[in-house]
Homo-oligomer: A and B are copies of this chain.
Amino acid sequence: MRYSIGEFSRITGLTIKALRLYHDRGLLLPVVVDSESGYRYYDPQCLEKARTILMLRDMMFSLDEIMEILRDCEDEAEILVLLQEKKDAIAARMKDFSRISRSLTEIIHREKEVSEMLKGSQFEVEEKEIASVLVASIRWKGPYEECGKRFSQLFKAMGRFVCGKPLCLYYDEGVREGDADIESCVPIRKGKEREGITVRMLEGGRFVSLLHKGPYSALGRSYERIIDYMKEKGHEVEAPCRELYHKGPGMIFKGNPKNYLTEILFQIKEEA
């Protein structure tokens, strides 16, 4: 039996281009090359070799590796070590992939939550119950812009135990530029204290809430609204107030501050 390159390509599933390349590289030689036309002809022996090449290629061996293997080996037992190495290499790549996949999932999840929130919200002041949560926190003094650093410190330390959006507690009464007294928190499933990081329950209760869309520099207007509301209702404030960062600078982009989404929360003092 003789097969032309086209026939052989159809039988093996290797493209004509690939077959020509394997010929040039000495991986898989035709049995006969017509000296007039240059036509390549293959036979069933080539077929067997082609199948071996296909198997090895599917197992992600490079052409160079396949060449060596074909030259030196004729039994699977002889390439056991190579097979194990390939398997390990694949396992390593799979690990990378699943890490990437996890972070993609998380980013997608976050953005979807935010878009749900945008759909559902009228950007009006409302009252709601908030449950207690376990948090890891750092209490510090300094300018507001340094929040980001504290959060990344917390994220680094708590890693996979983080289970919610970051928030800050503001212990000062008014706005204080430069040396505000702040506690930055991330909700966690569990976790141990470390130097500088406290783990504690953050008590829940009844809160007045307002969703603020836009840059942090424009938070003032929203604070005004929420405070007006409290006064109107005659609610007394339980300090400290909170900011819950639904969307801020992202993992990939710093994001567009116009799209930042921050929830301002004032706890209502319950009558004793």
Contact = CB atoms under 8 A, between A and B. Distances in A.
B250 A75 contact: yes
A119 to B, nearest CB: 13
Given A94-B94, A97-B90, A80 B111 contact: yes
Given A74-B256, A94-B94, 12 more contacts: A48-B254, A59-B100, A59-B104, A59-B252, A76-B107, A76-B111, A76-B253, A77-B115, A77-B259, A79-B252, A90-B104, A93-B97
Interface residues of A, number: 44
Contact of A101 (B87, B115, B252): B87
A103 interface: yes
Interface in A62-112: 73-77, 79-80, 83-84, 86-87, 90-91, 93-94, 97-98, 100-101, 103-105, 107-108, 110-112
A10 B91 CA distance: 30
A250 B101 contact: no
Interface in A234-258: 250-256
A52 B83 contact: no
Nearest to A258: B75
13 contacts: A48-B254, A55-B252, A59-B104, A73-B253, A75-B259, A76-B110, A76-B111, A76-B250, A76-B255, A87-B105, A90-B100, A90-B101, A94-B97
A10 B77 CA distance: 46
A84 B98 CA distance: 14
A169 interface: no
A114 interface: yes
Contacts of A58: 100
Interface of A: 48, 52, 55-56, 58-60, 73-77, 79-80, 83-84, 86-87, 90-91, 93-94, 97-98, 100-101, 103-105, 107-108, 110-112, 114-115, 250-256, 259
B77 A111 contact: yes
A73 B87 CA distance: 39
A173 to B, nearest CB: 34
Contacts of A112: 80
A149 to B, nearest CB: 15
Nearest first, the 4 closest Cβ-Cβ pairs linking A and B are A76-B250, A87-B104, A55-B252, A75-B256
Contacts of A55: 251-252
